[in-house]
């Protein structure tokens, strides 16, 4: 961590910072430049980082050197995490496609979709029983009825279940049905929820926030992991932008970037990033090309009747076509590139 002092800083102002750092148990190194003086802090600790350095009269700004996440960081855990859910693996070269409706409506529809996506190659089934909605006047989810439908789907098809939790009081109930618990964009920084999930044993699929950065996304994974759970799947669903063409904006560069910073698997949700059926497949395809560890997609046989987000649902035949195309796709392999890099040096 580096503290940049203001132009014209006095010796007293420098001393004030130096002695404060010492009182926190760390060392400093002072560099007096011609224009500006810089104080390096050796032995960076979280507590030091969070001190209100801007309150010192001589301080202009503080530059962080290292990232604030540890358990989620590849620096401290160089090998890929492989999350295993009832025999289905994701991460470390294992690719996995999760598919199903946005909301669970009827058992008939759920079963039909599950069978169709399984036949096409999906390895897990997704479906929301509790739904976060911007308006209190729209459909809020089918609740426990929906969870029981998911249970039947699993019995019938064998597909593990991914479903969303919205608040701490739902965790016990959902845990009885879910194989992976999904945390949605609006809850990415619901820290109490994250910590409580970290104390359980069910893998968490963590979507990025509406306007989060990749590092904040990993900090939220860190919240879960700091309580003990290691199985976190990072899910990219795009962020808000001034571009109105798509519902959200998803930068595929974040796939290799997150895989570089972290050992956790990264999946792409192009249903929510685009919000429009026509663009779900090309973005899913591009995400896998960029090296994603998997996809989570919405499929509905009759989107006009879907209780939520019907506009972004793929038809079963779209999903089937996408899965066929994916079979012949060679993904970009960043690790292979890294190896070539090293060997050629």
Q: Which residues ranging from 93 to 112 are in contact with a second copy (CB under 8 A)?
A: none
Give the Cα separation of 260 and 339 in Å (integer). Answer: 14
Nearer to a second copy, 41 or 85 (CB): 41
Nearest-approach distance from CB 229 to a second copy, in angstroms:
13
Give the Cα separation of 101 and 117 in Å (integer). Answer: 10
How many residues interact with a second copy (rule CB under 8 A)? 120
Judge contact between 17 and 10, C-beta under 8 A: no
The residues that bridge with 103 in the sheet, in sequence order, are 128
Among 178, 309, 319, 323, binds a second copy (CB under 8 A): 309
Stretch touching a second copy by CB under 8 A, among 27-35, 115-123, 144-152, 173-181: 27-35
Judge contact between 238 and 273, C-beta under 8 A: yes
Task: Determine if 283 is a binding residue for a second copy (CB under 8 A).
Answer: yes
Nearest-approach distance from CB 35 to a second copy, in angstroms:
6
Nearest-approach distance from CB 107 to a second copy, in angstroms:
21
How many angstroms from the chain centroid is the CA of residue 330?
24
Give the Cα separation of 308 and 300 in Å (integer). Answer: 11
Give the Cα separation of 27 and 261 in Å (integer). Answer: 27
Task: Determine if 143 is a binding residue for a second copy (CB under 8 A).
Answer: no
Site for a second copy in 39-98 (CB under 8 A): 40, 42-44, 46-47, 50-57, 63, 65-66, 68, 75
Task: Determine if 278 is a binding residue for a second copy (CB under 8 A).
Answer: yes
Nearer to a second copy, 49 or 82 (CB): 49
3-state secondary structure at position 133:
coil
Nearer to a second copy, 146 or 291 (CB): 291
3-state secondary structure at position 37:
strand
Tokens of 36: 């500006």
Among 291, 293, 319, 323, binds a second copy (CB under 8 A): 291
Among 96, 219, 267, 323, binds a second copy (CB under 8 A): 219
Q: β-pairing, 27-32 with 59-63?
A: unpaired
Nearest-approach distance from CB 312 to a second copy, in angstroms:
8
Site for a second copy in 150-209 (CB under 8 A): 166-169, 186-187, 189-193, 195, 209
Nearer to a second copy, 86 or 305 (CB): 305
Give the Cα separation of 240 and 142 in Å (integer). Answer: 28
Contacts with a second copy, 319-338, as mask; x by CB under 8 A: --x---x--xxx-x-x--x-
Task: Determine if 23 is a binding residue for a second copy (CB under 8 A).
Answer: no
Task: Determine if 245 is a binding residue for a second copy (CB under 8 A).
Answer: yes
Cα three-residue angle 318-319-323, rounded to 5 degrees: 120
Single out the residue of 331, 339, 233 nearest to residue 291, CA to CA: 331
DSSP 242: S
Among 103, 303, 319, 323, binds a second copy (CB under 8 A): 303
Cα three-residue angle 322-94-88, rounded to 5 degrees: 90
Among 117, 223, 266, 267, binds a second copy (CB under 8 A): 223
| 334-344 helix and 254-261 helix, angle to the nearest 10 degrees | 70
């Amino acid at each position: 961590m580096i503290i940049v002092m203001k132009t014209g800083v006095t010796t007293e102002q420098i001393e004030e910072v130096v002695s404060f750092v010492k009182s926190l148990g760390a060392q400093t190194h002072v560099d007096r430049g011609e224009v500006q003086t810089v104080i390096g802090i050796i032995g960076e600790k979280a507590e030091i980082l969070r001190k209100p350095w801007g309150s010192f009269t001589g301080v202009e700004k503080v530059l962080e050197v290292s990232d604030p996440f540890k358990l989620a960081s590849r620096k401290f855990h160089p090998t890929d995490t492989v999350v295993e859910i009832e025999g289905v693996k994701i991460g470390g070269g294992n690719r996995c496609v999760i598919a199903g409706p946005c909301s669970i409506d009827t058992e008939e529809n759920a079963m039909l979709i599950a069978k169709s996506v399984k036949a096409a190659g999906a390895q897990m089934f997704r479906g929301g029983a509790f739904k976060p909605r911007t308006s209190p006047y729209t459909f809020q989810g089918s609740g426990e009825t929906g969870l029981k439908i998911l249970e039947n789907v699993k019995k019938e098809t064998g597909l593990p279940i991914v479903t969303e939790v919205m608040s701490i009081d739902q965790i016990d109930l959902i845990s009885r049905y879910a194989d992976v618990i999904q945390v949605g964009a609006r809850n990415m920084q619901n820290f109490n929820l994250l910590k409580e999930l970290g104390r359980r044993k069910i893998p968490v699929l963590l979507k990025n926030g509406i306007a989060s950065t990749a590092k904040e996304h990993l900090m939220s994974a860190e919240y879960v992991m700091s309580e003990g759970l290691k199985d976190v799947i990072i899910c990219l669903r795009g962020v808000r932008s001034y571009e109105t063409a798509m519902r959200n904006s998803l930068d595929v560069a974040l796939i290799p970037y997150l895989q570089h910073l972290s050992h956790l698997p990264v999946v792409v949700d192009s249903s929510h990033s685009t919000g429009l059926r026509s663009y779900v497949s090309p973005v899913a395809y591009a995400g896998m090309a960029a090296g994603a560890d998997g996809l989570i997609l919405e499929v509905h046989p009759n989107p006009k009747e879907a209780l939520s987000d019907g506009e972004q649902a793929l038809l079963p035949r779209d999903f089937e076509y996408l899965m066929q195309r994916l079979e012949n796709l060679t993904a970009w392999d960043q690790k292979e590139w890294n190896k070539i890099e090293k060997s050629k040096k």
